Amino acid sequence: MNNKGMNLVVDYGNTSAKVGIFNQQELVEKRTIAALPELKSLLELSEAENIIVSSVSHSPDDIVSWASKARRRYLLDHRLPLPIRNHYRTPETLGVDRIAGVCGAIQLFPESNTLTIDAGTCITYDFSDAEKNYMGGSISPGLTMRFRAVHEYTARLPLVNPIENPAFTGDSTESAIQSGVYYGMLEEINGVVAAYNKKYTGLKVALTGGDARFFENNLKASIFASPNLVLIGLNSILNYNVNR
């Protein structure tokens, strides 16, 4: 990565790391890295001026220490100042990926009521108002978790993989599970969006996460799908702290 003088953001999830290079607010390069030694090597060679690390698995202190050439280094946790007002009652329990996604949505839709939906291991819904007040949201089981629950909490039902646009009326046990799980989750998302739309005017909806592709074209409301929403949010938080 030729990243001298730029921002480097790292989103380390349960299985891999997403790394983004930003020139101010523009994402100029992105990588997904599965092996920790590869991430370590990349950060040791990086000449980025600023770095922020968000991690839900590996120690963020270790990761940020590898970027030894960076002038400013930040860890995203509940103590780091944010470009929003956080009204979550237990900020120390708030997932760093959730708050980064919210900041990404606000970066994309400033001065708007926003609903951030992250369809990952769990599906999370997070609301922030037009004055950048983050109010909280909700968490429910994600797509894969629902398929596993159908299998693991029954004696004979198989473990089924999700598919895009399954038949609404399943004509086999496998397709019936695919229909029930998929359309149940689709209607959940539609219902949550409709409830927020009813309460807040001019609502903007941002959808991200590994399972977003299963739903983005079938939702009733207008949404903005962004696979880089968390990276955008991390960069927003980084710029905010650099410029304070």
Whether 126 is a known active-site residue: answer no
192 contact partners, CB below 8 Å, separation of at least 6: 115, 117, 125, 138
Torsion of CA 121, 138, 88, 72, to 10 degrees: 30
Q: Are 176 and 170 in contact (CB under 8 A)?
A: yes
Q: Which of 97, 118, 126, 129 is catalytic?
A: 97
Give me the residue label for tokens 């390069």: 29
Q: Tell me the three-class secondary structure of the chain, residue by residue.
A: CCCCCCEEEEEECCCCEEEEEEECCEEEEEEEECCHHHHHHHHHHCCCCEEEEEECCCCHHHHHHHCCCCCEEEECCCCCCCCCEECCCCHHHCCHHHHHHHHHHHHHCCCCCEEEEEECCEEEEEEECCCCEEEEEEEEECHHHHHHHHHHCCCCCCCCCCCCCCCCCCCCHHHHHHHHHHHHHHHHHHHHHHHHHHHCCCCEEEEECCCHHHCCCCCCCCCEECCCHHHHHHHHHHHHHHCC
Instruction: Compute how many other C-beta atoms are within 10 angstroms of the C-beta atom of residue 21.
Output: 21
Residues that are catalytic: 97
